[in-house]
Amino acid sequence: MDIPVDGFAAPQPATVGQRQVLARPDVLKRYRHLRTISTELHTGALKFVARSTLLEQAKRLGFAAGHTLIVDNDAEMTLVFDLAIHTAKDGRSRAIDRYAKALPPPAGSDAARMLEAMRRTTFSIWKIEHRHEVAGLVVTDVLREEETWLIDEALESSNQDGMLFASRFCFIDSFAMTCGVVVPVTDDIVDDVLTDALARRHSDLSMLAQDPKFATAIYRAAIDDRIMDGVAYI
């Protein structure tokens, strides 16, 4: 028996002959519920980020002068938040982990499951292959060469097969969700980052993707290429 959690049950397939299908409205309802939770959790985690950490991450992205943050739009500030919440120096705890320790959601709740998924995100370069038959998109992890079912309404509406983007994914239910920012990238940006000094320290691309400095390098390259000028988060 499927027991609803926080008022929602994970979408269940209906049987048509021998084929099981998920209903798009049910999947999107579930996704929106989880998206609301993830937004609330990110807001909570930000309270565990020190201003000095924000400034440090902003400097790495070229968004600070002295002790002053200098950003042109919300998209740029979101990059700073992403790194401040989900990465940390060696030997230091991440804001998302401090938040989970200090204010854990009720055990077994969707909030608890989402928070755990957010603590175990997968960062990579992703390629949009095509629309999923139910909802969202089928994307390929370029570094690990693995396909994933992604639900993201903004990306689905963009309808750009072949588009490359950098993002953290959290995996919950039968699909993945973006967790934080979505940064469009080009083949040239990917090639440059995959051949720089950081990449040469990792013979395994999956290990490279797990290095916190990799996300910083991708974001900085996108900023320098002025890709972020045309990005707006909804």
- Is 50 exceeded by the pLDDT of residue 18? no
The pLDDT value recorded for residue 217 is 92
Mean pLDDT, residues 92-99 = 96
Lowest-pLDDT range of 42-46, 49-53, 210-214: 210-214
The pTM (predicted TM-score) of the whole model is 0.86
- Is 60 exceeded by the pLDDT of residue 233? no
Q: Which residues contact 202 (CB under 8 A, 6 or more apart)?
A: 208, 211
Mean pLDDT, residues 201-212 = 83
Q: Which residue has the tokens 């002790």?
A: 67
Specify whether the CB–CB gap between 42 and 149 falls below 8 A.
no
| Distance (Å, whole) CA 96 – CA 174 | 23
Percent of all residues in the chain with a pLDDT value above 70, rounded to a whole number: 88
Mean pLDDT, residues 181-195 = 91
Arithmetic mean of pLDDT over the chain: 87
Answer left, alpha or beta for residue 162, where phi above 0 means left and psi between -120 and 50 means alpha.
left
- Is 50 exceeded by the pLDDT of residue 109? yes
69 or 18: which leads in pLDDT? 69
- Is 50 exceeded by the pLDDT of residue 13? no
- Is 80 exceeded by the pLDDT of residue 231? no
- Is 70 exceeded by the pLDDT of residue 17? no
| Distance (Å, whole) CA 31 – CA 178 | 11
The pLDDT value recorded for residue 89 is 87
